[in-house]
């Protein structure tokens, strides 16, 4: 029995072979942060929402307006459909939601599906990786040095299912995964993945707000670390004299 329903409140019939971009929570919340930013950056309109009895009972609030946490936005100008979730999708629903998105892509004659997400930081190099069902895209990415391909590994959740099924049905599914922190929301990683998406779609995406938030976060983390070290050393330092002047 199906438990997920996709409700379209706008026809979106004027879109011609659109690209479907998907952004769900994950490492560093990269997918959902990048998707939320994309809505504002491209002025995307609300086109629908996704419901399930197994979804968390919550509403997302943006610009004073409550709305479904899992929803669809679109831009006729840029020929893009965006599917965003600001809540974690239960693992048990991954296959069904992936199938629903692929079916929606087929009904809209979409050209491809692009999933945005995060991957745990390796050496702090802030790379963006690409996994795709279309090897010509991998070669193009390598040639242009836009993103690094992943030769061996695994990816899970809705994106993993879409990639596996996309290979079987020969439909272009692309995942861009930015190195991100596992410990906190990572606007720098969201900005990095959007920069790659911008080049891939040949569509300007202003990420200056995310870049600013990343700088503020970095500064805040450094201050927290400094305060933590001072706190730990406080009594001994004061005994030695001179540290607090």
Looking at residue 138, its pLDDT comes to 86
Domain that holds residue 188: 4-206
Domain holding 81: CATH number?
3.40.50.10900
Domain shared by 138 and 27, yes or no: yes
Angle formed at CA 62 by CA 59 and CA 68, multiple of 5 degrees: 30
Please, which residues have CB within 8 angstroms of residue 111's CB and are 6 or more apart in sequence?
Answer: 17, 18, 19, 172
Task: Check whether 224 has a pLDDT greater than 90.
Answer: no
Q: Above pLDDT 90, what percent of the chain? A: 69
Domain shared by 67 and 18, yes or no: yes
pLDDT tens profile 189-206: 999 999 999 999 999 999
Task: Check whether 131 has a pLDDT greater than 50.
Answer: yes
Task: Check whether 130 has a pLDDT greater than 90.
Answer: yes
Task: Check whether 234 has a pLDDT greater than 60.
Answer: no
Domain shared by 221 and 170, yes or no: no
Domain shared by 131 and 244, yes or no: no
183 confidence band (pLDDT: 50, 70, 90): confident
Domain shared by 140 and 239, yes or no: no
142 confidence band (pLDDT: 50, 70, 90): confident
Domain shared by 198 and 220, yes or no: no
Domain shared by 201 and 214, yes or no: no
Task: Check whether 232 has a pLDDT greater than 70.
Answer: no
Q: How far apart are CA 31 and CA 152, in angstroms?
A: 22
Please, which residues have CB within 8 angstroms of residue 43's CB and are 6 or more apart in sequence?
Answer: 75, 77
Number of domains in the chain: 2
Task: Check whether 229 has a pLDDT greater than 50.
Answer: no
The mean-pLDDT minimum among 6-10, 31-35, 122-126, 151-155 falls in 122-126
Task: Check whether 90 has a pLDDT greater than 90.
Answer: yes
The mean-pLDDT minimum among 54-63, 132-141, 215-224 falls in 215-224
145 confidence band (pLDDT: 50, 70, 90): confident
Domain shared by 144 and 242, yes or no: no
Helix (H) / strand (E) element for 85: namely strand 80-85
Domain shared by 102 and 192, yes or no: yes
Task: Please give the span between the terminal C-alpha atoms of the chain, in angstroms, as a whole number.
Answer: 70
Angle formed at CA 84 by CA 138 and CA 182, multiple of 5 degrees: 70
Domain shared by 150 and 233, yes or no: no
CA nearest neighbour of 167 among 155, 178, 180, 179 = 155
The mean-pLDDT minimum among 31-45, 85-99, 186-200, 204-218 falls in 204-218
Domain shared by 125 and 223, yes or no: no
Domain shared by 163 and 224, yes or no: no
144 confidence band (pLDDT: 50, 70, 90): confident
221 confidence band (pLDDT: 50, 70, 90): low
């Amino acid at each position: 029995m199906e438990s997920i329903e996709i409700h379209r409140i706008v026809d979106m019939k004027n879109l011609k072979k659109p690209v479907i971009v998907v952004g769900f929570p994950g490492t560093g919340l990269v997918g959902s942060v990048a998707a939320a930013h994309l809505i504002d950056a491209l002025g995307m309109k609300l086109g629908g929402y996704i419901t399930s009895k197994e979804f968390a009972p919550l509403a997302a609030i943006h610009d004073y307006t409550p709305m479904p946490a899992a929803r669809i936005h679109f831009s006729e100008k840029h020929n893009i459909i965006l599917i965003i979730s600001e809540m974690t999708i239960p693992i048990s629903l991954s296959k069904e939601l992936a199938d629903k998105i692929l079916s929606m892509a087929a009904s809209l004659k979409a050209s491809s599906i692009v999933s945005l997400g995060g991957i745990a930081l390796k050496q702090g190099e802030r790379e963006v990786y690409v996994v795709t069902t279309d090897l010509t895209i991998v070669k193009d990415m390598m040639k242009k040095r836009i993103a690094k391909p992943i030769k061996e590994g695994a990816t899970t959740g809705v994106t993993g299912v879409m990639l596996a099924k996309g290979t079987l049905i020969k439909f272009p599914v692309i995942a861009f995964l930015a190195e991100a922190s596992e410990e906190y929301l990572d606007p720098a990683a969201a900005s990095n993945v959007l920069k790659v998406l911008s080049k891939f779609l040949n569509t300007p995406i202003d990420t200056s707000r995310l870049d600013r938030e990343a700088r503020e976060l970095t500064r805040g983390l450094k201050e927290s670390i400094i305060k933590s070290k001072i706190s730990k050393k406080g009594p001994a330092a004061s005994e030695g004299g001179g540290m607090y002047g």
